Structure 1
Amino acid sequence: MTSGPNRFLDELAKLMTDAAGATQGLRREAETAMRSQLERLMNSMDLVKREEYEAVRDMAVKAREENDALSARLAALEAKLDGKPSADDVATAKPAATKRAPRKKT
């Protein structure tokens, strides 16, 4: 057995080591409690996760592109129904023969 100042220093070192371990344990416990509180708060705020947001954004971009394509197609079909040539029809059309005016009967 050691006696004197060495024993006192050994006990003090052991006490400090135990206190440091307890402090780390308290820190971990406090972090866990705070993390769970923040998660509960964020869940109650009904926030959207980044992956979900990006998926919906990609769907919206695709839908907008499809909508533009369908709008152009609809405009071309309406132009055909109205008898107005569309830009595509004008580019591919053959020159039409000119019609003569009908003769007046005398």
Structure 2
Amino acid sequence: MSQNNKVFDGLGRVMNEAAGVADGLRREVETAVKSQGQRIVADMDLVKRADFDALRELVQVQSEEIDQLRKDIDALKSTRKAK
């Protein structure tokens, strides 16, 4: 009976070590894929979301200012024609 226990203990240790190796391999592959993905994104020269949002807000403000300036110009033109 003690021989069976030793076999099962040994088998249990081997299985635990195999699980540890598999987990380590999984983490290593995960890290490699993540770093490769980050490298690809960096090479694409993408804009950060915060920069995009700031630029979009600036464009909206300038668009409103341009619309107001166009209205002012049209108003000035109409007053010149009236004279």
Structures share fold, TM-score greater than 0.5: yes
Deviations along 1:44-102, whole A, 9 cap, x unmatched? Answer: 1111222222221121111111110111112212333x1428xxxxxxxxxxxxxxxxx
Which stretches in structure 1 are left out of the alignment for 5+ residues? 86-106
RMSD (Å), alpha carbons: 1.8
Specify the code of the residue in structure 2 equivalent to 1:76: A
Q: Distance in 2 between matches of 1:57 and 1:83?
A: 37
2:67 corresponding residue in structure 1: 68
Over alpha carbons, which structure has the higher Rg? Answer: 1
1:19 corresponding residue in structure 2: 18
State yes or no: 1:3 paired with 2:32.
no
Q: Which has the higher contact order (CA 8 A, sep 6+)?
A: 1
CA drift at 1:23: 0.8
Specify the code of the residue in structure 2 equivalent to 1:84: A
Specify the code of the residue in structure 2 equivalent to 1:57: R
Misfit runs of 4+, over 4 Å: none
Identity rate of aligned residues, in percent?
40
Q: How many residues align?
A: 83
Q: Distance in 1 between matches of 2:82 and 2:17?
A: 91
Which stretches in structure 2 are left out of the alignment for 5+ residues? none
